[in-house]
Structure 1
Amino acid sequence: MKDDYIPEFHGDRPDCNAISATTLAFVGDAVQTLFVRTRLSLTHGEKSGYLHRLAAAEVSATAQAAAFRRIEPILTEAEEAVFRRCRNAKTNTVAKHASIGDYRIATGFEGLIGWLYLQDGHARLNELLACAYPSERDPETRKRGAE
């Protein structure tokens, strides 16, 4: 698959219902960051500092909320339930550069990604990430489109 930038999880499959929503979001944040950084590294021939800035923009809470909105119509009932569970989780952090609504959506999105990764949802995870971050949404493409 062209957008298969995430390695499969090879450990024992945990019971994700026993894992806290914030822990699922913690794992999902790492998986999503790996996806974005790998995709940018393989599609842009730039220096790492520039790639870091592009990646930071793509993994911000506001960008994550926008990415979630792109996949929301194609989620299964189980995926929607995981998203809601993680979105509604009490966190000890506050949004610094995003609205509280976008921050909660981003937390739900990260939780869903973490859940799929740990649940052996590799194919579905890559499908959703490809929809959430289609190639035409690359920061360079958006920049060129604005000129």
Structure 2
Amino acid sequence: MERFLQDSCDPKQLSPLTLAFLGDAVFEVLVREKIVCQGSRPVSQLHRLSVRDVCCKAQAAAGKAILPELTEEEAAVYQRGKNAHPGHVPQNADQTDYHEATALEALFGYLYLCGKIDRLTYLFETIQTFQHKTENDKGT
């Protein structure tokens, strides 16, 4: 699969916050697709389930979970995102989590713009495996 649009764009020239802006949407589409493919549910339940995975704290944990899987290039993009200065951190977000979440979003935006959809899918599935394992660990 390729990008939706084929507009000329060099993701290496974009700021990490610009990459995170797009990556936030890419990550959310993946989460929503995963939830929708599990079957029909009331919209309120769909929203609650998506927010659980797209919130700052969950994205921060997801980013940390995939760090060992990242290539050198991906790790550099992740680090640029983590070091970005967004100007403000939402009141309900921990500053450390917010930077980690921004790093994950920057990486997902970068990979999407590079057309590396298979890699995005692999990393997203790695996150899902990590989250499933974490949920099972809490249940024991």
Aligned residues: 138
Runs (4+) off by over 6 Å: none
SS at match of 1:51: helix
Q: Is the 8 A contact 2:65 2:130 kept in 1?
A: no
Distance 1:27 1:146 in 2: 34
Superposed CA RMSD in Å reads 2.3
Identical positions, percent = 37
2:30 maps to a residue whose letter is F
Residue 10 of structure 2 corresponds to which residue in structure 1? 15
After TM superposition, the score normalised by the length of structure 1 is 0.84
The counterpart of 2:55, out of the listed 54, 57, 60, is 60
After TM superposition, the score normalised by the length of structure 2 is 0.88
For residues 87-132 of structure 1, the C-alpha deviation after alignment (integer angstroms, 9 at most, x for no partner) is 1111022133332111100000000000000011111111101101
- Matched ranges for 1:1-147 at <5 A: 8-9=2-3, 10-134=5-129, 137=132, 142=135, 146=139
Q: Is the 8 A contact 2:82 2:100 kept in 1?
A: yes
Report the CA distance between 1:142 and its aligned residue. 3.8
Gaps of 5+ in 1: 1-6
Gaps of 5+ in 2: none
